[in-house]
Amino acid sequence: MNLASVVLIKALRFGDARGWFCETYSERSAESAGIDVRFVQDNQSFSASVGTVRGLHFQRAPHAQAKLVRCVRGSIMDYAVDIRRGSPTYGKWVGAKLTAEGGEQLYVPVGFAHGFVTLEADVEVAYKVSDFYAPDCDGGIVWNDPTIGIDWPLPSGGAVLSDKDKVLPTLASFESPFNYDGVPLQPLTSA
Protein backbone atom coordinates (compact mmCIF):
# COMPACT_ATOMS: atom_id res chain seq x y z
CA MET A 1 0.00 0.00 0.00
CA ASN A 2 1.32 3.44 -0.90
CA LEU A 3 -0.50 6.09 1.10
CA ALA A 4 -1.95 8.78 -1.15
CA SER A 5 -1.89 11.49 1.49
CA VAL A 6 0.95 13.82 2.33
CA VAL A 7 1.79 13.38 6.03
CA LEU A 8 3.66 15.65 8.45
CA ILE A 9 5.64 13.61 10.96
CA LYS A 10 6.95 14.96 14.25
CA ALA A 11 9.48 12.59 15.78
CA LEU A 12 9.75 12.46 19.55
CA ARG A 13 12.99 13.77 20.97
CA PHE A 14 14.36 12.61 24.29
CA GLY A 15 16.70 15.13 25.90
CA ASP A 16 19.01 15.40 28.85
CA ALA A 17 22.02 17.51 29.84
CA ARG A 18 24.01 16.14 26.89
CA GLY A 19 21.46 17.08 24.23
CA TRP A 20 18.78 14.90 22.66
CA PHE A 21 18.12 11.60 20.84
CA CYS A 22 15.37 10.63 18.39
CA GLU A 23 14.57 7.97 15.86
CA THR A 24 14.52 9.74 12.49
CA TYR A 25 12.96 6.71 10.80
CA SER A 26 11.21 3.62 12.09
CA GLU A 27 9.39 1.27 9.75
CA ARG A 28 6.98 0.40 12.57
CA SER A 29 6.15 4.08 13.26
CA ALA A 30 5.81 4.81 9.53
CA GLU A 31 3.37 1.92 9.07
CA SER A 32 1.29 3.12 12.03
CA ALA A 33 1.02 6.49 10.19
CA GLY A 34 -0.18 4.64 7.06
CA ILE A 35 3.15 4.81 5.24
CA ASP A 36 3.93 1.37 3.87
CA VAL A 37 6.86 2.16 1.58
CA ARG A 38 10.29 0.61 1.27
CA PHE A 39 12.95 3.30 1.08
CA VAL A 40 16.03 2.35 -0.98
CA GLN A 41 18.18 5.48 -1.14
CA ASP A 42 19.07 8.45 1.07
CA ASN A 43 19.86 11.84 -0.51
CA GLN A 44 21.18 15.05 1.00
CA SER A 45 21.42 18.57 -0.39
CA PHE A 46 23.23 21.69 0.78
CA SER A 47 22.02 25.17 -0.17
CA ALA A 48 24.25 28.13 0.66
CA SER A 49 21.81 30.99 0.00
CA VAL A 50 18.55 32.06 1.59
CA GLY A 51 15.77 31.71 -1.00
CA THR A 52 17.21 28.70 -2.79
CA VAL A 53 14.29 26.91 -4.46
CA ARG A 54 14.59 23.23 -5.39
CA GLY A 55 11.58 21.90 -7.24
CA LEU A 56 8.93 21.14 -8.11
CA HIS A 57 10.31 17.66 -8.87
CA PHE A 58 9.06 14.11 -9.26
CA GLN A 59 10.16 10.84 -10.79
CA ARG A 60 7.78 8.88 -13.05
CA ALA A 61 7.32 5.12 -13.49
CA PRO A 62 8.92 2.71 -13.71
CA HIS A 63 11.03 4.47 -11.06
CA ALA A 64 8.44 6.70 -9.37
CA GLN A 65 9.55 7.92 -5.96
CA ALA A 66 7.86 8.59 -2.65
CA LYS A 67 9.99 10.82 -0.39
CA LEU A 68 10.46 11.33 3.33
CA VAL A 69 12.03 14.79 3.73
CA ARG A 70 13.67 16.43 6.76
CA CYS A 71 15.85 19.46 7.34
CA VAL A 72 19.07 18.59 9.16
CA ARG A 73 20.53 22.12 9.32
CA GLY A 74 18.54 25.36 9.20
CA SER A 75 14.95 25.57 8.01
CA ILE A 76 12.85 25.27 4.85
CA MET A 77 9.28 25.61 3.64
CA ASP A 78 8.49 22.27 2.03
CA TYR A 79 5.69 21.73 -0.51
CA ALA A 80 3.84 18.83 -2.15
CA VAL A 81 1.61 19.40 -5.20
CA ASP A 82 -1.02 16.87 -6.33
CA ILE A 83 -0.28 15.98 -9.98
CA ARG A 84 -2.43 12.84 -10.22
CA ARG A 85 -4.57 12.93 -13.37
CA GLY A 86 -8.29 12.95 -12.48
CA SER A 87 -7.77 13.99 -8.86
CA PRO A 88 -10.30 16.49 -7.47
CA THR A 89 -7.28 18.17 -5.80
CA TYR A 90 -5.12 18.21 -8.96
CA GLY A 91 -2.78 21.22 -8.85
CA LYS A 92 -3.51 21.87 -5.15
CA TRP A 93 -0.68 21.94 -2.64
CA VAL A 94 0.17 21.62 1.02
CA GLY A 95 3.21 23.01 2.75
CA ALA A 96 5.00 22.76 6.08
CA LYS A 97 7.94 24.43 7.73
CA LEU A 98 10.65 21.86 8.44
CA THR A 99 13.43 22.78 10.86
CA ALA A 100 16.55 21.10 12.14
CA GLU A 101 15.58 22.28 15.61
CA GLY A 102 12.09 20.71 15.48
CA GLY A 103 12.93 17.57 13.49
CA GLU A 104 9.70 17.64 11.45
CA GLN A 105 9.49 15.41 8.36
CA LEU A 106 7.19 15.49 5.33
CA TYR A 107 6.11 12.31 3.59
CA VAL A 108 5.44 12.97 -0.11
CA PRO A 109 3.86 9.99 -1.90
CA VAL A 110 4.15 9.01 -5.55
CA GLY A 111 1.94 11.26 -7.69
CA PHE A 112 3.00 14.51 -6.03
CA ALA A 113 5.59 17.05 -7.15
CA HIS A 114 7.91 18.15 -4.37
CA GLY A 115 9.85 21.34 -3.76
CA PHE A 116 11.25 23.52 -1.03
CA VAL A 117 12.75 26.94 -0.37
CA THR A 118 15.49 27.67 2.16
CA LEU A 119 14.57 30.14 4.90
CA GLU A 120 18.14 30.79 6.00
CA ALA A 121 21.70 30.36 4.75
CA ASP A 122 23.66 27.09 4.80
CA VAL A 123 20.71 24.69 4.86
CA GLU A 124 21.00 20.91 4.59
CA VAL A 125 18.06 18.71 3.64
CA ALA A 126 18.06 14.91 3.82
CA TYR A 127 15.45 12.67 2.30
CA LYS A 128 14.70 9.02 1.78
CA VAL A 129 13.29 7.83 -1.56
CA SER A 130 11.40 4.69 -2.49
CA ASP A 131 13.20 4.07 -5.81
CA PHE A 132 16.66 4.72 -7.18
CA TYR A 133 17.45 7.86 -9.14
CA ALA A 134 16.70 7.37 -12.83
CA PRO A 135 17.53 10.43 -14.98
CA ASP A 136 15.28 9.24 -17.82
CA CYS A 137 12.29 9.29 -15.41
CA ASP A 138 13.10 12.69 -13.89
CA GLY A 139 10.47 15.41 -14.27
CA GLY A 140 9.10 18.60 -12.83
CA ILE A 141 6.73 21.57 -12.93
CA VAL A 142 8.00 25.14 -12.86
CA TRP A 143 8.24 26.35 -9.26
CA ASN A 144 6.27 29.60 -9.72
CA ASP A 145 3.41 28.23 -11.82
CA PRO A 146 0.52 30.71 -11.40
CA THR A 147 -2.08 27.94 -11.66
CA ILE A 148 -0.61 26.22 -8.59
CA GLY A 149 -0.10 29.53 -6.80
CA ILE A 150 2.39 28.70 -4.06
CA ASP A 151 3.24 31.84 -2.09
CA TRP A 152 6.96 31.16 -1.69
CA PRO A 153 8.54 33.07 1.25
CA LEU A 154 11.40 34.64 -0.70
CA PRO A 155 13.95 37.28 0.28
CA SER A 156 13.93 40.63 -1.52
CA GLY A 157 16.53 39.34 -4.02
CA GLY A 158 14.15 36.63 -5.23
CA ALA A 159 14.67 32.92 -5.79
CA VAL A 160 18.01 31.19 -6.37
CA LEU A 161 17.36 28.53 -9.02
CA SER A 162 19.19 25.89 -11.03
CA ASP A 163 19.16 26.27 -14.82
CA LYS A 164 17.06 23.09 -14.98
CA ASP A 165 14.39 24.44 -12.61
CA LYS A 166 14.08 27.71 -14.58
CA VAL A 167 12.79 25.90 -17.70
CA LEU A 168 10.42 23.28 -16.30
CA PRO A 169 6.94 23.17 -17.90
CA THR A 170 3.80 24.74 -16.47
CA LEU A 171 1.00 22.61 -15.09
CA ALA A 172 -1.19 23.58 -18.08
CA SER A 173 1.37 22.21 -20.57
CA PHE A 174 2.14 19.11 -18.50
CA GLU A 175 0.81 15.62 -19.30
CA SER A 176 0.74 13.83 -15.94
CA PRO A 177 1.99 10.22 -15.88
CA PHE A 178 0.21 9.63 -12.54
CA ASN A 179 -3.38 8.43 -12.06
CA TYR A 180 -5.70 9.38 -9.24
CA ASP A 181 -6.05 6.57 -6.71
CA GLY A 182 -9.29 7.71 -5.05
CA VAL A 183 -7.75 9.59 -2.11
CA PRO A 184 -7.74 13.40 -2.46
CA LEU A 185 -5.06 15.58 -0.96
CA GLN A 186 -5.95 16.42 2.64
CA PRO A 187 -4.85 19.29 4.88
CA LEU A 188 -1.70 18.36 6.79
CA THR A 189 -2.07 16.69 10.14
CA SER A 190 0.75 15.37 12.30
CA ALA A 191 1.47 11.69 12.68
DSSP letter for each residue of 24-85: S--HHHHHHTT------EEEEEEE-STTBEEEEEEE-TTS---EEEEEEESEEEEEEEE-EE
> Does residue 102 fall inside a structural domain?
yes
CATH of the domain at 34: 2.60.120.10
Full residue range of the structural domain in which residue 52 is found: 7-179
> Does residue 191 fall inside a structural domain?
no
Q: Give me the number of domains the chain comprises.
A: 1
Contact partners, residue 107, CB within 8 Å, separation at least 6:
3, 6, 7, 8, 9, 30, 33, 35, 66, 67, 68, 69
The structure's pTM equals: 0.93
Q: Which of 57, 79, 90, 107 is catalytic?
A: 57
Each residue's pLDDT tens digit, 6-16: 999 998 889 99
Whether 79 sits among the annotated catalytic residues: the reply is no
Strand partners for 157: none
> Does residue 82 fall inside a structural domain?
yes
> Does residue 106 fall inside a structural domain?
yes
**pLDDT, tens digit only, all 191 positions of the chain:** 345 589 999 988 899 999 989 888 888 888 888 888 999 999 999 999 999 999 999 999 999 999 999 999 999 999 999 999 999 999 999 999 999 999 999 999 999 999 999 999 999 999 999 999 999 999 999 999 999 999 999 999 999 999 999 999 999 999 999 999 888 898 887 76
Whether 127 sits among the annotated catalytic residues: the reply is yes
Strand partners for 112: 82
Each residue's pLDDT tens digit, 7-43: 999 988 899 999 989 888 888 888 888 888 999 999 9
